[in-house]
Amino acid sequence: MIIASLFQAAVQATGNGIEHIAQPASGGFWFLMTVIKLLVLFTIYMVGVMLVIWAERRICAFIQDRRGPNRVGPHGLLQSVADGVKNIMKEETYPGQAYTPLFVLAPPIALIPALLTWAVIPYGAPWDSKWGTIDMALAPLPIGFLFTLAISSLGVYGIVLAGWSSNNKYALLGGLRSSAQMISYEISMGMSTIPILILAGNVSLGQIVGQQGGMGLHWNIINATVAFFVFFVAAFAETNRVPFDLPEAESELVAGYHSEYSAMKFSMFFIAEYANVMTVSALMSTLFFGGWDIPFTTWDNLPPHTLLKTLLTFGMIWVKILFFVFVFIWVRWTLPRFRYDQLMALGWKVMLPVALTYIVVVAVATYGLDASGIHPSDWKFAVAMLVLNIVLMGILLGVIDRGRLISPAYSRLDKRNMDKLRRARYDRVRFQNPPVAEGAD
């Protein structure tokens, strides 16, 4: 109850999302702040990608009992700079039969959507300056969440176009796999976030974060754990990371969609991959882990919204993002790649039905609790959802554990069907290769 009233007060005072657009800070100041936000965000983002690449190499080395890059700069921190310089110096190669316009365009097409998503993520508590409230999302769109869904679907174009324009069979296969994989998992990803929209009653990311504010009890990880599980798995598929790195699949497809790329164009794909990892981590933090909310205190959600609060909450969201980035790296160096049929089976037969069912469950639960007088901002609501989610996760993990759901090769054929298959194959072979007439040669 207290939290609820505090939350109400916080929302009214800060004017998150839509309300904020209705009362913009004065033109010149707003413009200046937007430019500053743009520069800060872009700088942090690009430097972050660089450091994440370094972290990936370092962590993978530690996991494999190696040391990793430790020569360039302190602890090898500047390794990515050295690699960047090298890649700028290197020759750009063009395959003879490549379709050059798309071949050149594909890397930026892969990179830009990963960067765009960042525009709408609120990365700090709003700042009540003397000249008006500044929302800490670069572009506090009222439809921010729909924007992220729309943009994240664009990422696949870069990869498919790269694969196709290279005129290389492996690259094309990588691109095809990528499109199939991304479309399959995008559906479960989108569906897994609908429970959050039900809970928030809004598609503005600022509002979604605001609704999770408080002690950390209203984080959507508590309200929608199963949705997070689905989102998490889909996020790996969307970023083409192990165990879903089939578009790259270096053991099968050389290097997949970027086999033919060299120098800075390859680098751009590389940056795009890590940019995607950071974007998806930021989305997970925003949607499920309260965004910039500092847990166990309501201090950050209450006015006055000073610059200190903005900076601390900015630090908090980065803690969350980096944690997820670490999980991505950790998983990558642990799990082997899925087989293609396993990938598809997991996407369509497990993730999608789970996500769809969960929408119904959350809708019913929210409606039921609301009807019995427990509102989403109440602590009882969180406890009820927590219990429900623990039960559901138990059932889900139990079923996945026992059912061998990710291995369709499990199904055994009975003898009758096996004979039928054998006969069919025999007929086909005989039909395709008619007996050679005598004396034909």
Partner 1 sequence: MAIGVKVLERPIKQTSYLRATAQGLALTLKHLLRPMSDKVTIQYPEEKFAVSARWRGTHRMLTTEDGKAKCVACGLCPTVCPSNCIKLVPGEDENGNRYPLVFEIDEFRCIFCGYCQEVCPEEAIHVGRHYENAEYSREGFVYDLERLMAQTHPVCEMWDPADPKGE
Q: Which of 2, 39, 150, 409 binds partner 1 (CB under 8 A)?
A: 409
Residue 367 engages partner 1 in binding (rule: CB under 8 A):
no
Q: Which of 5, 8, 43, 64 binds partner 1 (CB under 8 A)?
A: 64
What's the CA angle centered on 289, arms 144 and 33, to 5 degrees?
45
Q: Contact region for partner 1 (CB under 8 A) — 82-90, 229-237, 357-365, 407-415?
A: 407-415
Q: Which of 65, 91, 438, 441 binds partner 1 (CB under 8 A)?
A: 65
Between 75 and 90, CB nearer to partner 1: 75
Please tell me whether residue 134 adopts helix, strand or coil conformation. Answer: strand
Q: Tell me how far, at minimum, the Cβ of 353 lies from partner 1, in Å.
A: 17
Residue 63 engages partner 1 in binding (rule: CB under 8 A):
yes
Whether the link from the prior residue into 303 is cis, omega within 30° of 0, is no
Q: Tell me how far, at minimum, the Cβ of 71 lies from partner 1, in Å.
A: 9
Whether the link from the prior residue into 126 is cis, omega within 30° of 0, is no
Q: Tell me how far, at minimum, the Cβ of 235 lies from partner 1, in Å.
A: 16
Q: Which of 130, 412, 415, 416 binds partner 1 (CB under 8 A)?
A: 412
Residue 397 engages partner 1 in binding (rule: CB under 8 A):
yes
Q: Tell me how far, at minimum, the Cβ of 399 lies from partner 1, in Å.
A: 10
Count helices and strands (H / E) in the chain. 16, 2
Q: Tell me how far, at minimum, the Cβ of 342 lies from partner 1, in Å.
A: 9
Dihedral over Cα of 311, 312, 313, 319: its sign: positive
The span from the CA of 53 to the CA of 245, in Å, is 17
Q: Tell me how far, at minimum, the Cβ of 61 lies from partner 1, in Å.
A: 8
Residue 410 engages partner 1 in binding (rule: CB under 8 A):
yes
Residue 242 engages partner 1 in binding (rule: CB under 8 A):
no
Q: Contact region for partner 1 (CB under 8 A) — 37-45, 317-325, 353-361, 404-412?
A: 404-412
Q: Which of 240, 215, 264 is nearest to 90 (CA)?
A: 264
Residues 6+ apart with CB under 8 A from 223: 195, 196, 199, 362, 376, 381, 382, 385, 389
Q: Tell me how far, at minimum, the Cβ of 70 lies from partner 1, in Å.
A: 8
The span from the CA of 283 to the CA of 419, in Å, is 51
Q: Tell me how far, at minimum, the Cβ of 73 lies from partner 1, in Å.
A: 16
Q: Contact region for partner 1 (CB under 8 A) — 61-69, 140-148, 299-307, 313-321?
A: 61-69
Q: Which of 404, 423, 428, 430 binds partner 1 (CB under 8 A)?
A: 404
Binders of partner 1 in range 182-201 (CB under 8 A): none
Between 368 and 394, CB nearer to partner 1: 394
Helix boundaries (H) for 64-99: 79-89
Token digits of residue 39: 């520069």
296-335 footprint of partner 1 as x/- string (CB under 8 A): ----------------------------------xx-xxx
Amino acid letter, residue 353: P
Token digits of residue 213: 């504010």
Q: Is 361 exposed, middle or buried (0-12, 13-18, 19+ CB in 10 A)?
A: middle
Between 244 and 269, CB nearer to partner 1: 244
The span from the CA of 73 to the CA of 337, in Å, is 33
Of all residues in the chain, what percent are helix, strand and coil, respectively (each to 5)?
Answer: 70, 0, 30
Residue with tokens 């769809």: 356
CB 239 within 8 A of CB 52: no
Q: Contact region for partner 1 (CB under 8 A) — 76-84, 153-161, 205-213, 412-420?
A: 412-420
Q: Which of 23, 26, 97, 411 binds partner 1 (CB under 8 A)?
A: 411
Interface residue list for partner 1 (CB under 8 A): 59, 61-67, 330-331, 333-335, 397, 400-402, 404, 406-413, 417-418, 421
